[in-house]
Amino acid sequence: MLFPKTITVNPLVNTTRTLLPELKKLKEEIAWAMSISDPLTGLVAFFNITSPWHDRGPLVSWHDESDLGKSLKKFYAIISNAGRCSIGWNRTKAGELATEDNVFLGNIDGLFTKPISFWRTRKGQSGMGRPAFEVVSEQAHAYMQNGHTIIDIINEIEDMIA
């Protein structure tokens, strides 16, 4: 008697396949946030896009050492870094939208950490050799470059399960 060909089912691949439409949308949304000409507005949008993913928690067991598992862990690590933290940049609680009043920048070039709304009131004022608003705008722009990493990881995940 011949046995039917065994089909290997990988639950992680199947689960990730169901997430693909959401991951593709995430790539588009991150690219959009990164294209916003004002980096402070872009950073608020970026946090509103990434925070719900942080709220979901890890997509894979930390013990999974498959290539897909490693990519999903990298994805979550970057998302977690952009996630909510009471003393970080994104000072929102689960489910709360990021605004210019709860996204904080500073702690650079002698500037105190303050909300974006504070820095907007300092636009045009100089201190520490250059305008503080420019310093925090550059800080926001540099941070949002993490979006490229997220997009690259999603592309990697898509290639693995295609």
| Average pLDDT value for the chain | 89
Largest CA distance in the chain: 84
Across 101-105, average pLDDT: 97
pLDDT category at 14 given cuts 50, 70, 90 is confident
pLDDT in tens, 127-148: 567 888 999 999 999 999 999 9
pLDDT category at 83 given cuts 50, 70, 90 is confident
Can you tell me the distance from the alpha carbon of 83 to that of 18, in angstroms, rounded to the nearest whole number? 23
Asked if 97 and 48 count as a contact pair (C-beta separation under 8 A), the reply is yes
At 17 the pLDDT is: 92
Least confident of 1-15, 82-96, 146-160: 1-15
Whether the predicted pLDDT of 31 surpasses 80: yes
At 59 the pLDDT is: 83
At 98 the pLDDT is: 97
Q: Tell which residue, 41, 50, 51, has the closest CA to residue 136.
A: 41
Torsion of CA 55, 160, 147, 107, to 10 degrees: 60
Least confident of 46-55, 109-118, 146-155: 109-118
At 4 the pLDDT is: 59
User: In which residue are the tokens 């290639």 written?
Assistant: 159
